[in-house]
Amino acid sequence: MLRLAATDRAAVVQLLLRFGIELRMVEPEAPIPGSYWGESEAGLQGGTLLARPDTPVHSILHEAAHFICMSPERRVGLDRDAGGDDAEESAVCYLQVLLADAIRGFGRERAWRDMDEWGYSFRLGSARAWFEQDAADARAWLQAAGIIDANEALSGRLRAA
């Protein structure tokens, strides 16, 4: 599993800033505020994503995707639980993979492997199979929200409503 300390942190910071998200580092071994899963998993508090050097990159991208996909009303009071329905969660997972391509040394292939290793569960048995064969609804959700275009290019915009 690729950890933040083993990647280009500046690239992660730049990607998050494209969406108005600030990366705040937490001391090694310290609890991560706003983490839904605890341990080394990334946390969200408002527009701040919190992580440690041992935080998995896929976790950072997943939480960033939650922030991008949630409604403006939910972003305001965000602390730990991004909420949302099943359709939004699928869109978050799809966006997480697209965001992975923006991180040199990570990319979608590594994201799929790390998602599977972490324990994401998809009907077709793997993150890659889901993404390639069963995620048309997630892609359509992201397009309708203006987060990606028809070619899956990131718009740099947050969900508006």
Instruction: Specify the length of the chain in residues.
Output: 161
pLDDT of residue 139: 98
**By CB neighbour count within 10 A (0-12 exposed, 13-18 middle, 19+ buried), where does 76 fall?**
exposed
pLDDT digits (tens, 9 = 90+) for 74-117: 998 889 888 889 999 999 999 999 999 999 999 999 999 999 99
> Domain containing 77: what range?
1-161
pTM score of the predicted model: 0.95
First-last CA distance in the chain: 34
DSSP of 47-79, one letter per residue?
Answer: TEEEE-TTSBHHHHHHHHHHHHHS-HHHHHT-B
Instruction: Give the pLDDT band (50/70/90) at residue 38.
Output: confident
DSSP symbol at 37: S
Query: Which is more confident, 122 or 102?
Result: 102
C-alpha–C-alpha distance, residues 109 and 41, integer Å: 20
Averaged confidence pLDDT in the chain = 94
DSSP of 98-156, one letter per residue?
Answer: HHHTTSTTTHHHHHHHHHHHHT---TTSSHHHHHHHS-HHHHHHHHHTTSB-TT--B-S
Q: How many domains does the chain have?
A: 1
pLDDT at 126 over 80: yes
pLDDT of residue 36: 86
Smallest Cα–Cα separation from 96: which of 124, 71, 127?
Answer: 127
pLDDT digits (tens, 9 = 90+) for 44-57: 999 999 999 999 99
Q: Is 9 helix (H, G, I), strand (E, B) or coil?
A: helix
